[in-house]
Amino acid sequence: MYCAVSSFGLLGIEPYVVSVEVDARRALPGFDIVGLPDAAVKESRERVRSAAQNLGYSAPVMKVVANLAPADLKKVGSVYDLPLLIGYLCACGFEHFDLSSIAMIGEVGLAGEVRGVSGVLPMVLDAAKLGFSKVIVPAENAAEASVAKGVEVLCASHAKEVIAYLRSEGSLPKAQAPATSRHRETYLPDLSEVKGQLEAKRALEVAAAGGHNLLLIGPPGTGKSMLAKRLPSILPPLSEEEAVEVTKIYSVAGMLPPGVSLLEHRPFRAPHHTVSAVSLTGGGSLPRPGEISLAHCGVLFLDELPQFSRATLEVLRQPLEDGEVTISRVQQRLTYPSRAMLVAAMNPCPCGYYGHPTQSCTCTPRAVEQYLGRVSGPLLDRIDLHMEVLPVEYEKLSSTRPEESSASVRQRVMEARKRQEKRFAGTGISCNAQIPPALLQECCPLEPAAEKLLAAAFERMGLSARGYGRILKVARTVADLEGAESIGPAHISQAIQFRGLDRKYWGGV
């Protein structure tokens, strides 16, 4: 007999329909799975046979063949266990179910338990578009599955519950998110804990307001990492659309916390400098999102930037420019979003004291040059703000005067973002850092004095076309923070100051 059960596969974070076709014929017993299955899918046959017997079904004297269509796409994971089990029972003649308009996903244990799997959220979100009215998912994935609209999502913790439901002898609960799944309190380090560093805090505020990349350079112990780790506390909350997109990535990566329907806070990823290029951008034999995709709509923090291998850093150039990562394989091509803010911190030399006002640098000029040379000009050109973080004076460190809180800065950032939201309504652009070249002149109107100042800076600094555009975008953000419609000389001047360190340390790029 033949039976087909619908399920889903993923290309990146985009789902597609997988038809789990099972055929059973009288022959020497066997169970084969075809359709480009990986090792986890091939092992499903043992889980399915054991689960069927432990559910009270006898072992049939039949040759069983299961095909996962389309057969030219690689199938990965244990997501097909449940549809394989249902298809196996129907094809062997044990059961007769109406499976029209129903899709199912889930791992099955040897005793029939239905266990959680990765990637449930993107699958159920598009289930209605793919033609399904009902989707059966593991109870462990109920929180994330509850986000789906236009489709009835049912939860099961055991295969016998699914069988009883398909027999019309029982019901399955609908997926519901816990009441606190989006509103649990999470502590974020506050900017008020950082003493002094007013210029660096201003750079952090501008970066947050416009979604700009930021480089912090300075001696050890000046608070570079401390500042970067407090950037999430001044970023605006995720919009509903952004929260869904970020949660989809974490669902596919299998990193979604239990009982959470949608992630509330912007992600902050800080990989160690030993991270590989594949781990940073995504990929592998079974492609998974990399760190820059896990930081989507949030912050990717690279501490001790020159300690990362140059090859690893260079792979960031295209994702930073395009906002997505494309992973190409012989059999498939996957795309993951990667619209993250890059925040990097580094010392100016191996000993850390090159250019220090009081400490002497012990490095040779050649050692300093080699150290700084690990960060390429093209990568620097993609970083909008360059900020030197100098040592804090004792008077400021010992002062009891309260520093400005993250909440106060965040309020200004959110007001600037609201102006950008109004400006870019209907364009798909969310912040100034994403302004395309075609809209640059329209979105960044310059006052005559500002245009004259920018022209002089362009000639004096030898800016590239990308550098020119980034100064305009930063100036637009500075103007938005002040509520100005047009960009004035003061806004251009501040944006130019944020591009000066590459001239000091790298001699211009």
Together in a domain, 109 and 195: no
For β-strands 385-388 and 214-217, DSSP reports them as parallel
pLDDT digits (tens, 9 = 90+) for 83-117: 999 999 999 999 999 898 899 999 999 999 999 99
Q: Residue holding tokens 């939860």?
A: 155
Residue 188 burial by CB count (10 A; 0-12/13-18/19+): exposed, middle or buried? middle
Percentage, residues of the chain above pLDDT 70: 97
User: Do 257 and 373 fall within a single domain?
Assistant: yes
CA distance 403 to 411: 15
Alpha-carbon distance of 419 to 231, in angstroms, equals 20
Instruction: Evaluate whether residue 464 is within a structural domain.
Output: no
CATH of the domain at 226: 3.40.50.300
Are residues 147 and 217 both part of a single domain? no
Residue 338 is part of which domain span? 191-430
The predicted structure's pLDDT at residue 179: 64
Query: How many other C-beta atoms can be found within 10 angstroms of the C-beta atom of residue 233?
Result: 22
Q: Kindly state the average pLDDT of the residues 58-62.
A: 88
Same-domain check for residues 291 and 200: yes
207 and 344 share a domain?
Answer: yes
Last residue of a domain, one of 402, 430, 458: 430
Helices of type H across 187-259? 198-210, 224-229, 240-253
Q: What is the 3-state secondary structure (H, E, C) of 342-384?
A: EEEEECCCCCCCCCCCCCCCCCCHHHHHHHHCCCCHHHHHCCC
Per-residue pLDDT at 316: 92
pLDDT of the residue at 509: 40
- Averaged pLDDT, 209-228: 93
User: Which range is least confidently modeled, 35-39, 202-206, 286-290?
Assistant: 286-290
Average pLDDT in the 348-361 region?
87
- By C-alpha distance, which of 259, 261, 216 is closest to 238? 261
Q: Examine residue 383 and state whether it is found in any structural domain, yes or no.
A: yes
The CATH number linked to 78 is: 3.30.230.10
pLDDT surpassing 90 at residue 264: no
User: Is residue 252 in some structural domain?
Assistant: yes
Per-residue pLDDT, 180: 56
Length of the chain: 509
Same domain, 345 and 209: yes
Neighbours of 292 (CB within 10 A): 27
- Same domain for 197 and 139: no
- pLDDT for 69 beyond 70: yes
Q: Which residue has the higher pLDDT, 466 or 161?
A: 161
For residue 65, is it left (φ>0), alpha (ψ between -120 and 50) or beta? beta
| Residue 302, domain member (yes or no) | yes
Q: Is residue 261 part of a domain?
A: yes
Q: What are phi and psi of 252, to 5 degrees?
A: -65, -40
- If asked whether residues 62 and 104 sit together in one domain, one would say yes
- 198 and 94 fall within a common domain: no
> Alpha-carbon torsion 494, 495, 498, 500, what sign?
negative
Pick the range with the lowest mean pLDDT from 295-299, 356-360, 421-425.
356-360
Helix orientation angle between 465-481 and 448-461, rounded to the nearest 10 degrees: 140
* Whether residue 385 sits in one domain with residue 267: yes
Do 263 and 355 have their domain in common?
A: yes
Domain boundary among 408, 430, 452: 430
What is the average pLDDT across 457-483?
88
Predicted local confidence at residue 118, as pLDDT: 93
Q: Note whether 147 and 238 are same-domain residues.
A: no
| Cβ atoms of 34 and 71 closer than 8 Å | yes
pLDDT digits (tens, 9 = 90+) for 137-166: 999 999 999 999 889 999 999 999 999 999
The CA–CA distances, whole Å, from 420 to 45, 204, 430, 449 equal 54, 18, 7, 24
Residue at a domain's end among 413, 430, 447: 430
DSSP string, 286-321: TTEE-HHHHTTTSEEEEESGGGS-HHHHHTTHHHHH
For residue 262, being part of any structural domain is answered with yes
User: Whose CA is closest to 478, among 459, 497, 460?
Assistant: 497
User: Which residues, including other chains, have CB under 8 Å from residue 124's CB and lie 6 or more apart?
Assistant: 135, 137, 145, 147, 148, 151, 153
**Total domains present in the chain:** 2
**Residue at 379 is within a domain:** yes
Distance of alpha carbon 332 from alpha carbon 350, whole angstroms: 43
Q: Is residue 492 part of a domain?
A: no
Per-residue pLDDT band for 347 (boundaries 50, 70, 90) equals: very high
